[in-house]
Structure 1
Amino acid sequence: MFALDLHTHTRFFHGFTARATPFDPVGSRLLDYCARWRGLDGVAFTNHDYYEPLPTGDTVSIPGIEVTTTRGHVLVVGPDPPRFSRPERLSPEAVVEMAHDRDCAAIIAHPYRNSTVRDVDAPFDAIEVNGKHPRTESWVRRLADEHGLPLVGGSDAHYPVEVGRAYTRVDAHELTPRAIVTAIREGRVEPRVGNRLPDRLIRGFYHRIHQQKRHLQRPDWADEGATPGVGRPPGEDD
């Protein structure tokens, strides 16, 4: 059993679309240090619309990319992700097909934040419980049940200290990209959400930011008063 963060970023700034910067190797080292501190076995570097092989230390780096589709974000994780993608040019269906052609898993990222990918009828491999808004986990679980898909966890870390606040327990015989993809497709995965004080504080910060940007969404069947970030996150006792 391995503990993997399947959604991380090696820099905290945006811009420089679909290409790496000189900071990325620094960011990957910092992520590796924090991942080891959190007890993780590996991380997937899923930068926005580009993949760049980057160095790590003791943890294993799983290749990946976060593709900005015409409907929202899709994670592509596995042995051979594309090196870059043009934001908002590819449909989710096209990204899933591309991922499978490259022996990668296609994962719906943060389905209730600035995304309608959850409504797309395509053969995704999993749905993510996102570390920025883990209070939506009950919604995401229902969505996964409706689609018959497994759940994975990812921190969506842009700052190294955020890594591991949500991660995935993977039942695989070896820690390789191909073995991880197989485990995801066979449902031998489960999400875990961290509940340390820094995790809770950071979640509150992101909730306010995304609420101001009007990026937060809720399913039609949810209570009118229900919004992401309201109520206790998974694992918190009364």
Structure 2
Amino acid sequence: MYRIDLHAHTRFFHGHRRLGDVYDPLGGRLLAGVARARGLDGVATTNHDYYRAFDDEITGVAVLPGIEISTTRGHVLVVGPNPPSETDPGELTPGEVVDIAHERDCAAIIAHPYRNSTVREADAAFDAIEVNGKHPRTREWVERLADQYELPMTGGSDAHYPIEVGRAYTAVDVDDPTPENVVAAIRDGRVEPRVADWLPYRLIGRLYRYIHAEKDQLDAPDWATPGVGTPPEDD
């Protein structure tokens, strides 16, 4: 069983592509270094609307290719051996992203389904749905969606700062954490989301709940209220 953070970013800022291209190699090393310190075996680099190749392994941690695509209805993670190199934000529908992912032998995962997104309502053949590290209290909501759509669940920190890596991650049942094997495990349901209940992570989670609530980016099912519930503990 391998512990892999399937949603992480190599930079803490959006836009500024030239600056980001210069910073990304350092950001990738920082991600991998913190992942190793936290006891993770791998991390997927899922930057917004572009993919940049890194070494398959950095500081002893597997680095998986990925991209977080901004669709017409929210964000979708595409993780696997051959993600698209770049996409135009807001141009592709969720269904089109899923088709692209599958054509490229990648998995398509609904990202943070209750934050600024209606992707969860789209009619598309997703491979999994995410328990997001910034909002671990939504896990019960995600579990109900996973049951409704018969989808496996993954975990990802959604880290933009290295200290956030591993706040949520995925236990992946594979012999070797190659991109191809991880995709197969996701599709087969050989994955389990896990959330770390470390005090700094809880404080960061409260900060993000405040920020996203102020931006009116949080959504909830009819039967729930944002911020209510006990956050899950690390398994």
So what's the TM-score if we normalise by structure 1?
A: 0.95
Report the alpha carbon displacement of residue 17 of structure 1 after superposing the two structures with TM.
5.7
Give 2:160's aligned residue: 158
Q: Which amino acid aligns with 1:26?
A: L
Partners of 1:107 and 1:126 within 8 A in 2? yes
Distance 2:150 2:59 in 1: 36
SS of residue paired to 2:64: strand
Q: Does residue 32 of structure 2 align to residue 32 of structure 1?
A: yes
Report the alpha carbon displacement of residue 18 of structure 1 after superposing the two structures with TM.
10
Distance 1:21 1:181 in 2: 27
Q: Which amino acid aligns with 1:63?
A: P
For residues 180-210 of structure 1, the C-alpha deviation after alignment (integer angstroms, 9 at most, x for no partner) is 0000000000000000011001000101000
Partners of 2:113 and 2:120 within 8 A in 1? yes
Distance 2:204 2:150 in 1: 31
Unaligned runs of 5+ residues in structure 2 are none
Partners of 1:19 and 1:50 within 8 A in 2? no
Report the alpha carbon displacement of residue 231 of structure 1 after superposing the two structures with TM.
3.0
Unaligned runs of 5+ residues in structure 1 are none
Q: 1:18 to 1:80 in 2, by over 3 A?
A: farther
Distance 2:128 2:174 in 1: 16
Distance 1:18 1:194 in 2: 34
Q: 1:97 to 1:18 in 2, by over 3 A?
A: farther
SS of residue paired to 2:182: helix
So what's the TM-score if we normalise by structure 2?
A: 0.96
Give 2:9's aligned residue: 9
For residues 145-166 of structure 1, the C-alpha deviation after alignment (integer angstroms, 9 at most, x for no partner) is 0000000000000000000000
Aligned-pair identity (%): 62
Distance 2:17 2:107 in 1: 23
Q: Which amino acid aligns with 2:125?
A: P
Distance 1:18 1:230 in 2: 41
Give 2:233's aligned residue: 235
For residues 124-180 of structure 1, the C-alpha deviation after alignment (integer angstroms, 9 at most, x for no partner) is 000000000010000000000000000000000000000000000000121100000
Give 1:49's aligned residue: 49
Give 1:87's aligned residue: 89
Partners of 1:128 and 1:151 within 8 A in 2? yes
For residues 98-139 of structure 1, the C-alpha deviation after alignment (integer angstroms, 9 at most, x for no partner) is 000000000000000000000001100000000000100000
Across the two proteins, how many residue pairs are aligned to each other?
Answer: 232
Distance 2:172 2:67 in 1: 19
Give 2:71's aligned residue: 69
1:161-180 paired onto structure 2 within 5 Å: 161-180=163-182
Q: Does residue 119 of structure 2 align to residue 121 of structure 1?
A: no
Q: 1:18 to 1:152 in 2, by over 3 A?
A: farther
Partners of 1:18 and 1:86 within 8 A in 2? no
For residues 20-67 of structure 1, the C-alpha deviation after alignment (integer angstroms, 9 at most, x for no partner) is 520111111111110001100000000000000124221010000000
Report the alpha carbon displacement of residue 219 of structure 1 after superposing the two structures with TM.
1.2
